Amino acid sequence: MTTPPPPQSQNPYAQGQPPQGGNPFAQGQPPQGYPQQPTAGYAPVPPAQPKRKITFKLVKNVVTVVVVAVAVIGGYIASRDDANTAAVGDCMHRGNSSSTNPDLEVVECSSSNAQYIVLAKVEGSFTSAAADSKCEEKAKDFQYSYTESGDGSDFLLCLKDYSK
């Protein structure tokens, strides 16, 4: 059994019939000089990934990390000039008038804040009387003794007034 050929369509742009007006683009053929679109191995471009939404949790975590980092850096900078970093010959400044915790910090000797000079530094824990006798032994012309303990390193500073 044979099938009859399909009927001719009335579409003037159908295969095999020239378009009206002779427009070569109407047949879907690019003009000469333009490359053909590849068909073999052509894969469509996947859609773009959706943008990550900024959530409250993400903002909270970023803020927490920044605050902790600032605190650590600030603590490090503040502790660089504490009394435990003092060495013989360093100048010191008294941060407050407390006799039990004077908050001594190392300053440049050329600074107007320089009040004391370190004559001796002795590692160990000392009572007030033992500190004075140890300073007399290490630096005869000392005027003040400063002891610190409990921060992991116990030490004694023998100080005298600094005059420029």
Taking only the tens place, the pLDDT of each residue in 52-80 is: 788 888 889 999 998 888 887 776 665 55
Per domain, the residue ranges of the chain are 82-161
- Read off the pLDDT of residues 7-63 as tens digits, 9 standing for 90 and up: 655 655 555 555 555 555 555 555 566 555 555 666 778 888 888 788 888 889 999
pTM exceeding the 0.85 threshold for the entire prediction: no
Which tokens go with 90? Answer: 């360093």
152 pLDDT higher than 90: no
Average model confidence (pLDDT) for the chain?
A: 77
For residue 125, give every residue at least 6 positions away whose Cβ sits within 8 Å of its Cβ, in sequence order, or none. 147, 149, 154
Residue 107 pLDDT > 80: yes
CB 163 within 8 A of CB 109: no
CB atoms within 10 A of CB 147: 18
